[in-house]
């Protein structure tokens, strides 16, 4: 996944109203869009080095977009709008599922009147619904965690995936860790115990979970390698 424009480095001042960040950039302060609805726990530290991109879209009120934050000399991708693009490119390159020529990948596939899943792989015998989640939280060395805040949306997706399985579809929950410093992923039970319980129930009902970390390139972010999912139950 290639960024829309060249990365520009700056220094974080503060995040506010969820979608705004003030950044010191070449002796001036600019306001950038923060494309992340989560709490961004452990990331929003004043003085942290950040990377942003500048848009040429004349209709945009905020020309800059926050893409990467550096914490303890480690880069973390914070733009959740890029997560599906990173995963989709990996799908096309056969880095996730081994696809046959007859297989078709559909984005934002409608499951019912209230739910669309991120991806659907159409196969002759059994289709696959896939929901993708972005991960940035790490509170322990080598360990990524999800979620970083209570997620009602995440609960809904698991419930709907289980319904899809009962209708004969394979179901996958994919965690994309936009970090390079984690070897395992676990559910942050202390942050959202209900999500932990429902995911455990899902695992017992044919839900498959896979996790990948990412690699940061000079111009973009790509899937790196599969990492272990750890569930205590």
In a domain, 124, yes or no: yes
Q: What is the CATH number of the domain that holds 24?
A: 2.40.50.580
State whether 121 and 157 are in the same domain.
Answer: yes
Rounded to an integer, the average pLDDT of 161-166 is 97
Q: Which tens digits make up the pLDDT trace of 48-96?
A: 999 999 998 989 999 999 999 999 999 999 999 999 999 999 998 888 8
Q: What percent of the chain has pLDDT over 90?
A: 86
pLDDT score of 118: 97
Domain check: are 67 and 143 in the same one? no
Please state, in angstroms and rounded to a whole number, the distance separating the CA atoms of residues 119 and 228: 22
107/192 same-domain check? yes
Cα 138 from Cα 178, distance rounded (Å): 11
Indicate whether 195 pLDDT > 90.
Answer: yes
| Residue 67, domain extent | 8-77
Q: Span 1-30, mean pLDDT? A: 95
Share of the chain above pLDDT 70, in %: 97
pLDDT above 80: residue 224: yes
Same domain, 215 and 104: yes
Q: At which of 60, 77, 94 does a domain end?
A: 77
Pick the last residue of a domain from 44, 77, 110.
Answer: 77
The pLDDT of residue 102 is 56
Tell me, what's the pLDDT at 163? 97
Instruction: Report the pLDDT value the prediction gives residue 100, as an integer from 0 to 100.
Output: 64
Q: Are 162 and 107 found together in one domain?
A: yes
| Residue 90 shares a structural domain with residue 63 | no
Q: How does pLDDT run across 123-135, given as a tens digit for each residue?
A: 878 899 999 999 9
CB 177 within 8 A of CB 210: no
Please write the tens of the pLDDT for every residue from 149-158: 999 999 999 9
Q: Is 52:15 a contact under the CB 8 Å cutoff?
A: no
> In terms of domains, do 72 and 122 share one?
no
80 token code pair? 């959740």
Asked whether residue 70 is domain-assigned, the answer is: yes
pLDDT at 39 over 70: yes
Calpha distance 175→185 (Å, rounded): 8
Q: Classify residue 204 as exposed, middle or buried by CB count within 10 Å of its CB (0-12, 13-18, 19+).
A: exposed
- For residues 61 and 95, membership in a common domain is answered with no
Q: What is the pLDDT of residue 123?
A: 83
Instruction: Give the pLDDT band (50/70/90) at residue 103.
Output: confident
In a domain, 223, yes or no: yes
Q: Please tell me the total count of domains within the chain.
A: 2
Whether the Cβ atoms of residue 17 and residue 55 lie closer than 8 Å to each other = no
Taking the alpha carbons of 149, 153, 156, 161 in that order, is the dihedral positive or negative? negative
Specify whether 48 is located in the same domain as 128.
Answer: no
Q: Which of 58, 77, 96 is the last residue of a domain?
A: 77
Residues 65, 84, single domain; the answer is no
| Residue 181 token pair | 């410093």
CATH number at residue 162: 3.40.1350.60
Report if residue 30 sits inside a domain.
Answer: yes
Confidence of residue 101 (pLDDT cuts 50, 70, 90): low
Q: What is the mean pLDDT of the chain?
A: 94
Does residue 58 sit in the same domain as residue 124?
Answer: no
**2 lies in some domain:** no
């Amino acid at each position: 996944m290639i960024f829309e424009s060249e990365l520009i480095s700056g220094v974080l001042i503060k995040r506010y109203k969820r979608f705004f960040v003030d950044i010191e950039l070449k002796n001036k302060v600019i306001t950038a869009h923060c494309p992340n609805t989560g709490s961004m726990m452990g990331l929003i530290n004043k003085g942290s080095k950040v990377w942003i991109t500048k848009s040429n879209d004349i209709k945009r009120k905020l020309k800059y977009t926050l893409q990467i934050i550096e914490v303890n000399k480690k880069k973390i991708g914070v733009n959740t709008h890029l997560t599906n693009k990173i995963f989709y490119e990996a799908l096309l390159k056969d880095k996730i599922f081994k696809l046959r020529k007859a297989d078709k990948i559909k984005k934002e596939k409608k499951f019912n009147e209230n739910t669309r899943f991120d991806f659907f792989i159409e196969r002759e015998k059994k289709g696959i619904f896939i929901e993708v989640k972005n991960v940035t939280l790490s509170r322990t060395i080598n360990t990524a965690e999800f979620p970083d805040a209570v997620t009602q949306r995440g609960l809904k997706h698991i419930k709907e995936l289980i319904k899809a399985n009962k209708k004969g579809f394979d179901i996958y929950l994919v965690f994309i860790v936009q970090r390079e410093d984690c070897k395992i992923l676990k559910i942050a039970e202390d942050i959202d115990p209900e999500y932990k319980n429902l995911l455990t129930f899902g695992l017992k009902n044919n839900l498959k979970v896979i996790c990948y970390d990412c690699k940061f390139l000079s111009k973009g972010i790509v899937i790196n390698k599969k990492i272990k999912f750890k569930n205590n139950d």
